[in-house]
Structure 1
Amino acid sequence: MQRLTALVFLLVVAAICLDPAVAQTSIDSRRPPIIDMHLHAFHLDDGEPPAVNPVTGRPSAARTSAELRDMSLAELERYNIVKAVASGPPETIGRWREAAPDRIMVGAFVDEASPLPDLARLRAEIQAGRVHVLGELILQHRGMAPNDPCMEPYYALAEEMDIPVGIHTGIGPPGTPYDPCCP
């Protein structure tokens, strides 16, 4: 009996080694739901060569913004990410939300290149259900601390509207401490 049990075990292990998709399928079907609090909805320069990953040196598999969105949404589905707080350019994030309205929560994105949003417009976007999170706020790239007095009206609005605030902490890409963008 012990030999039979050992033989069955070895056959199962061999089958998994020969076809890892079998093992992956069984793992995926048991994944607990996940909420991703930090997803970037990037806009690609459609028609330009894809950007190279600075870590791997390989170009992105996505060639267009639509491909990037669709590939990202497929990965959310694959890993059972049921909600994702996404931030990025308004026109891009709007398309992500349209493609997956039950999964994508829109964040009001602020970085060194984008101005602080107009408070009245931000309030209207929140009330209309088009913005769900104040963030990602990349304040340090603007030379601002999270407790900068100019942020107080935004935090008061988030509190009033009962939405979370997402603040980027830490440094950014390699070399950021030496980049003139980020005092």
Structure 2
Amino acid sequence: MRHAAPEQRQVERAFTDIPTDDPEAALRFCRALSTLLDAEPAIGRLAQTPLAHGVAQPQAAPVELSVVIPAYNEEENLPTLYGRLLASLDPLGISYELIFVNDGSRDHTLPMLQQLSADDPRVLTIDLARNFGHQVAISAGLDHTRGRAVIIMDGDLQDPPEVLPQFIANIMIKGTTAA
């Protein structure tokens, strides 16, 4: 049995008390877990399969765009949102990923997101153990992005996906990302 490095032991100690009431502590926990998964290949392989509290995709090459979408009780919006995202992003001819963060939904949001992840390799589902709030959900999504550019949008369709091509074109024109 190999011995863990001091920094790995510190990360492992962080998992003895999983925070549930403090959003900042929960975010620190999620980041520490991500660090542990990145540092330990055997554990990272487990992250490629459905977990009790989420679905993680295998690590892959960077993509041009990541779209982070926090979701809380969005089962009625998800099919429409997903379809409109694909209709808006596919014609652009860029590589992208959709990162949905289930923020403790009590409806069928999680199973629907898990099915999207299973059907579409561009979809990553992150499932928070309970509702931590919009900002923590965004932070959790940002921690998993691989895109050269990131867009954050709400899952309730208050941000219309149809404006994404114009937004992306504007970013590229201003030179914030290479075309």
Q: Which of the pair has more CA radius of gyration?
A: 1
TM over 0.5: no
TM-score when normalising by structure 2? 0.29
TM-score when normalising by structure 1? 0.29
User: Greater relative contact order (Cα 8 A, min sep 6): structure 1 or 2?
Assistant: 2
